[in-house]
Amino acid sequence: MRDLTGRRALFVGGSSGMGFAAARLFHGLGATVILAGRSAARLERARQTLGNSPAVTSLALDMTDLDQVDRALLQLPAGGIDHLVISAASVTHGPFATQPVTELRMMFDAKFWGAYGLARAALPSLRDGGSITLFSGVLSRRPGINCAALGAACAAIEALTRGLALELGPRLRVNCIAPGMVRTELHDRAPPERREAMFQSTGNSLPVKRIGQPEEIAEAVLLAATCGYMTGHVLDVDGGHMVRQYAT
């Protein structure tokens, strides 16, 4: 494992799920971490879970409000961040024929435009040799019924990753994590019985026969953020979702 002493990383979406797991891993390896999200209470809870350490601070922001994002990131010292990790998103799905477009625009505002605006606002804060890690999802290339727009948002993030890697290199590297199904708070809205049944049936369809844990995705974030020869890459961390067997 790498020693991240002296590095500073900003995790937007760091109060929950995979963002929190990645922040915990980076913190454990010696990095100073900044957790960002909308809810001050969730940020505080995450900070406490990391032991209330002085190496963990928080920044409350809503990534759908790009003016607020600009103002929030101005609070960071110029050149003071090595790694930006953006896992935050609000996702929605529903039938193509009936799902209100306003809902889908809100999803794009968070998942795509939020990440776009954050990456841009963070540019002055990112040190030379630093990295940006974005999050898409397997739906970008392996669609699911009722998920056409979410898949499109994920595909847009992957295209943004490749474009930014080209445009921001060699100063910065830009990569993307495409998770498969992972047990996080994202799924808390579903009724527990339905959620567990979905986890079970998705897990059974995968070569690894289970869904993922946030800590497994955190390891991929660490690789993307710190491997100096990796940029413009979309890293599938999905238990083999892309090579699932056809129905027998």
Ligand X SMILES: NC(=O)c1ccc[n+]([C@@H]2O[C@H](COP(=O)([O-])OP(=O)(O)OC[C@H]3O[C@@H](n4cnc5c(N)ncnc54)[C@H](OP(=O)(O)O)[C@@H]3O)[C@@H](O)[C@H]2O)c1
**Interface ranges with ligand X (CB under 6 A):** 12-13, 15-19, 37-39, 42, 61-64, 87-91, 110-111, 114, 135, 137, 179, 181-182, 184-186
DSSP 8-class letter at 40: H
Nearer to ligand X, 114 or 130 (CB): 114
- Tell me how far, at minimum, the Cβ of 145 lies from ligand X, in Å: 16
Nearer to ligand X, 5 or 41 (CB): 41
Nearer to ligand X, 62 or 128 (CB): 62
Nearer to ligand X, 102 or 248 (CB): 102
Tokens, residue 231: 């940029």
Nearer to ligand X, 16 or 125 (CB): 16
- Tell me how far, at minimum, the Cβ of 136 lies from ligand X, in Å: 7
Q: For residues 155 and 145, give the distance between their C-alpha atoms in angstroms, rounded to a whole number.
A: 16
E strand residue ranges, the chain: 8-12, 32-37, 56-60, 81-86, 126-135, 172-179, 234-237
- Tell me how far, at minimum, the Cβ of 218 lies from ligand X, in Å: 10
- Tell me how far, at minimum, the Cβ of 143 lies from ligand X, in Å: 13
Q: For residues 214 and 23, give the distance between their C-alpha atoms in angstroms, rounded to a whole number.
A: 11
Q: For residues 238 and 181, give the distance between their C-alpha atoms in angstroms, rounded to a whole number.
A: 7
Answer whether the bond into residue 170 is a cis peptide, omega within 30°. yes
Q: Which residue number has the CB closest to ligand X?
A: 17
- Tell me how far, at minimum, the Cβ of 115 lies from ligand X, in Å: 8
First CA to last CA across the chain, in angstroms?
41
Q: What is the dihedral of CA 188, 192, 197, 200, to 10 degrees?
A: 60
Bridge pairing between strands 8-12 and 234-237: unpaired
- Tell me how far, at minimum, the Cβ of 100 lies from ligand X, in Å: 19
Nearer to ligand X, 13 or 130 (CB): 13
